[in-house]
Structures are given as structure tokens and as C-alpha cells.
Structure 1
Amino acid sequence: MNLKLLRLLALAGCTLPAVGYVAAQATPAPAASAVESRSINDWLMRMHEASRKRSYIGTFVVSSGGAMSSAKIWHVCEGDQQMERVETLTGAPRSIFRHNDQVVTFMPDHKVVRSEKRESLGMFPQLLQSADGRIADYYKVKQEGAERVAGVEADIVLLVPKDNMRFGYRVWTEQKKGLVVKLQTLDTDGKVLEQAAFSELQLDAPVKMDKLLQMMGKVEGYRVEKPVLVKTTASAEGWVLKAPVAGFKPMSCYKRPATANPVPGEEPLQWIFSDGLASVSVFVEPFDRQRHERESSLSMGATQTITRQLDTYWVTVMGEVPMATLKLFANGLERKK
């Protein structure tokens, strides 16, 4: 599923991608006042509640780095149960079903179905229900008027970062209930890096959860794969970050066996960080001279990627944050002695 689509769903409350240490010592963002924190948290929680209480069908379009992709979404809520079906309309055919934390992806070209559980990365709304108010510490909200999107009237709100360690967001929310209908990711100068929006949207659509569940379970004729994810901690695997990156906290860490018989202690590792809105993943795997040719940096829309060799390991850092922020993660990773 497209990273931007995942972010929009995350914003809607669903469970669903060489600077030295001088930059790391930059003055931290000032703590948010109680009023600021309440304002941004109330606004984010309104978006979350809008998704929980509304069913809809829509076509979702993503524009990033000169490329465009689209998908059709069916979304339904029944009590605490959340269900979605996403059909890609561009690129390789994919059908993605999500029931709460269970995600099933159909790949008809290969007759493969991938079934896995995906945990929340600790983004809101879970973050708002804790004592941690770091979203308001690192972002502020500005109202920017109203506009019509996909046939509905929407309020426009700007999420402005208080430092240069993260990107900003311009968000359009449907006026009556607050459902996210459009999202832009902005660089540190306010330039649009990526845009995601519904081109058509039917609110309160007659989507049936039982029908989607039946479709999700029809795996006859497909090879079912269940990727193995072993929950762990970076420390237990021998890794530390020498200095914290402002606002980003570790959310989860997994070992991802790449083969049926991985060498113990050499399974690829994914360490995930978040500031409550943006996330960064640090991947570590054994260095392979045939596959890992040279270190590189890559920007594609809002998604930034850095690769580097660290002793006998290959490190890939990826996230929708400024490249300088990724470099702090890449340069700060250290193997424990």
C-alpha cells in the first residue's frame, strides 16, 4: 500500500514507511502551553472520531515526485470494529483488506496472499490518551480557511513544525464531522512535497462489514504467506542510538527473518521511531558485497532514504522527514561493545 495512503489512514485513526552531532545539539522546541496542547489534541481527536463513526467509499489519488497513483477505498465501522478494503487502480493489481490489526494483501499476478498483523506505531490517537504531549511540543496548528474537496466542504488546517527536524502538513477535514479528505506534506520551506486527496467521496455509504470479511477470507487458489515478525528490542539485539533525535521516541522493534533458516543473530532488524505524526524506520542487516554496492541518499517526494555500511552491517534509514533528520539516525546508530 502506498505510504501516503497509510499516513492518511493513520491520521484518520487506523492501525495501519553527513550531518554531525552539532545538529543534534540544536535548541529543543519549547514545551507547548496547556492551551496549545489542548487545541492540537482536540483537533486530532476530532479527526480520529470522524473515522471511527463514518462509513465511506472513495477514490484516493496520490501525487509524489512527478508520479501519480490511485486506489479505491471502502471503509466501515461497527462499534469498535474497523474494516477496510483498498483496491489499487494504478500499478500492479493489489487488494488490501484490513480488519482491526489484521491485514490481508491479495497479489493476483502472483497468486499470493500475504496475511499479517500490524501494530500501531504509537501515533495519535493512542498518543493523546497518554501523558505524553509531544505532538503539541513539536507542532502548532494554524487555521487556513475552507475549500471544497471531492464534493464536500472542508476546513483547512496547517500543522507547522516548531523546528527543522520534521515536515509540516496541510490538512483538509470535512466540516461536519472532521474526516480527512486531503493531505499535503510540506518541506521546511513550505513547498508541497506530496499530495494525497479523495477525487470522489461518498459519505455514510452502505458498506457491509460482513461482506468485506467474506471477501477477505476467500483465499482459494492463492498461496498464503504469513511473514514472521519477532518482537524484540534494539538493545537486546546489540544496538543503541548514541544521542536521541529531538521529539522521536522508539515505538517498536522487530526481527524479520529473510530466509527459512536465517543465521541466528543475523536476521534483518527494523527499529521504528515516531514523534506522534512522522515516523522513521532503521533497518539493519548483515553486509552483502553483492547486493550492497555503495552508500547513497535518495529523495522521492516526502520519503527520504539513506544507506550506509557500519562495520559488517548494512543500515537503511527511511522516513518522511528531512534528510538531515535521517542522517542523525544513521550517524547515531552504534553497535554495543
Structure 2
Amino acid sequence: MAEAKRSLNYEASFIISKPGSDPQPYLWRHGVSEDGIEMEHLDQQNGPGREVVRIGNNVSYFESHRPAYTLASGYILGPLPHVLLNEPMSLLDAYEFVVVGKGRISGRAAQQIRMVSKDKSRFGYNLWLDHKTGLPLKINMMDIKGQKIEQIQITTLDVTDTPSAFFERIDTNALPEVVQLPDSKENKQNWQLGFVPVGMEQVKHSVRQLPENGGPLEYIMISDGLVDVSVYLQRATATASESDIVARFGSDIYYSRVQGSVLVTVIGKIPASTANALASSITLVQ
């Protein structure tokens, strides 16, 4: 799958379906130039639009609500799970990959593969890969009860010998300049997670001051490369709810609870039980 995603010339249409939201259609193009440079284009088809163009390790974002900009990156920030598509072997610590059987997706023969969280702390996935090319045809996210909660479905796929003519029309000199991001500032970590799901690790940490003397807000992100989970910590106030607050928005959980003197909020595509385990494991850094 990873080799096919990087090396083939193709154009695909796909739809993302989430509970409570209208299906979102996308156009996805990929090509490799004569010089061996990867080119990619992702276009959101509904609404005000969002287009992304990647040429090598530069990704340019064009959105209606902000000026265009370019980031130095080898992948597009978007709905496609880039680690799964580009580095599936890196997920072996967190998931078991099980070959299930064969099927047919959008008129193409497909191999079905099931991804199962090794410690049952995350949702699972059902993948269907094109039998001929290895490209993904469908990705279903499944909750702990086996119910589908999110889907990426390829509707058309055209694999060609040469890149799409779309890439010939791109003037690379006219693309926005690369934004130079400031170096991240290291902050003292006051809180730590006593529980981290198998295969996940802390990838971000920051502290910022809330307005009107709201005190510090500490932020921790953990990830397995496929799922990112954000944990926010701030001083609990007298108005904070004594009961846990749990809400689900599509495949995302919002979980908030008071743990001692701190209000912990966990957000991510995980079961509520995992969010509870994360929030309950918060301790002061010794």
C-alpha cells in the first residue's frame, strides 16, 4: 500500500461519512514527475472549498478564510490517515493486522484487512485494498461494539501511466513561500500521564496562560501515529462540575473530570473508557 501510494500516478474521488454530518466529497490526485518528485492534490468539493497541493516536501494550502500558505512537509494535513498510508509498519506496536478475506469495492477486486487495537484502548479499522495496485479503496473506523462510526470510501479510481495534466499547469514559482515556524519553546511539565495506551507516546507539550488570571493551561498530546489524543489540564474552580462530563461528536470523545485540584479534559477518537483511564491517571511530576 505504501509503495503504491508513493509511486503510482492516479486520480480518485472519495467520500467521507461521519454520524450527524453530511457526506464530504473529495478529489485526490497523485503523480510522480520525470525527475522522481512526488506531486499531490487534494480538493474538497463541497462548501467554500479547500485545496492542497504538495510538490515534493512543500505543501501549499488554499482556503477561503485565510491567505494561502506553504509548509515544509512530506504529507498533507487532511482527512487521509497519512501514517497508515505511508508507514503502516510503524503501527505494529499498537495494532494487529488480520487478513480477513476478499471483496469488491467500487467495481474493483479488494483485499480486506482488519486492524485491532492490541490493548483494546482504541477503535478498530477495516481496510479494503485494491487487489491490483494495493491502493486503499475503503477505510471504516469501528467502535468497540463493532459499529461503523466513520468511513472513507473511494468511488472512482483511475491509475495512469503518466501524471494528470493538472500538475503541468502548476507554476511552482507562483506558490506561496514556505512559512518558517518558530522553534517550539520548552516549558516545565507539571503533570504527567500514569497511563498511556500500548503503542502511544507523548508527542507534544505546551503551557500557556489563560486570560483574566485564569491560571496556566497545560496541554499534552499523545499519539500512535494514527490517532492523536489531546489532554488539557487547568486549575479546577469552584464552578467546575463534580460529575464527569462525557460527550461524543461523531467519532470524537469529549471527556472532562475534576481530578484532585485539576480539571482534566480529554479529546480524541477513543472510547470513553480510555478517556477516563487517561484522566484518572494524571499525577504531579515529582
The TM-score with structure 2 as length reference comes to: 0.74
Asked which structure has the greater RCO (Cα within 8 Å, sep 6+), the reply is 1
Q: Is 1:56–1:201's contact at 8 Å kept on the other side of the alignment?
A: yes
Shift in Å, 1:119: 8.0
CA-to-aligned-CA distance 1:98-133 (integer Å, 9 cap, x gap): 34554332222x34224445688995665737xx95
The residue matched to 2:171 in structure 1 has which SS? helix
CA contact (8 A) 1:115 1:226 kept: no
2:12 aligned residue (58, 78, 82): 58
In 1, Cα distance between equivalents of 2:236 and 2:221: 20
* Mapping for residues 104-115 of structure 1, pairs under 5 Å: 104-108=60-64, 110-115=65-70
| Cα displacement string for residues 69-93 of structure 1 (whole angstroms, at most 9, x for unaligned residues) | 1211122235774332211112332
Report the Cα distance in structure 1 between the residues aligned to 2:261 and 2:172, rounded to whole angstroms: 45
Q: How far off its partner does 1:330 sit?
A: 2.1
1:244 is matched with which residue: 186, 190, 196? 196
Q: CA shift at 1:190, angstroms? A: 1.6
Describe how 1:157-196 pairs up with structure 2 within 5 A: 157-196=113-152
Are the counterparts in 2 of residues 85 and 97 from structure 1 also a CA contact under 8 Å? yes
**Partner residue in 2 for 1:142:** 99
Contact 1:298 1:304 survives alignment (8 Å): yes
Letter aligned with residue 103 of structure 1: V
Q: Which runs of 5+ in 1 are unaligned?
A: 1-46
CA distance in 1, matches of 2:228, 2:2: 22
Q: Does the C-alpha gap of structure 1 residues 123 and 74 become closer, same or farther in structure 2, counting only changes over 3 Å?
A: closer
Q: How far does the alpha carbon of each residue in 1:254-294 deviate from its partner, in whole angstroms, 9 at most, with x for none? A: 548799xxx9x9576342221x5x423224365698xx986
Match of 1:152 among 103, 108, 113: 108
Give CA deviations for 1:31-55 in whole Å, capped at 9, x if unaligned: xxxxxxxxxxxxxxxx111111112
Q: Report the Cα offset of residue 184 of structure 1.
A: 0.6
CA contact (8 A) 1:253 1:272 kept: yes
Identity %: 21
- 1:207 and 1:288 map into 2 onto residues whose CA distance is 55
Alignment of 1:1-337 (within 5 A): 47-67=1-21, 68-78=23-33, 81-99=37-55, 102-108=58-64, 110-117=65-72, 123=83, 126=87, 128=89, 133-135=92-94, 138-149=95-106, 151-204=107-160, 206-207=163-164, 211=168, 214=171, 217-219=174-176, 228=182, 230=184, 232=186, 236-245=188-197, 247-255=198-206, 266=216, 269-274=219-224, 278-284=226-232, 296-308=245-257, 315-337=264-286
Q: Give how far 1:140 is off.
A: 3.9
Question: What is the root-mean-square deviation of aligned Cα atoms in Å?
Answer: 4.1
| Aligned-partner Cα distance in 2 for 1:258–1:219 | 32
TM-score, normalized by length of structure 1? 0.65
Q: Which string of whole-angstrom CA distances, capped at 9 and with x for unpartnered residues, describes residues 313-332 of structure 1?
A: 66442222222112222222
**Structure that is richer in strand per residue:** 2
| C-alpha distance in structure 2 between counterparts of 1:243 and 1:112, whole Å | 40
* Alpha-carbon separation, structure 2, partners of 1:146 and 1:64: 23
Contact 1:54 1:76 in 2 (8 A): yes
Q: Whole-Å Cα distance in 1 between the matches of residues 248 and 276 of structure 2?
A: 13
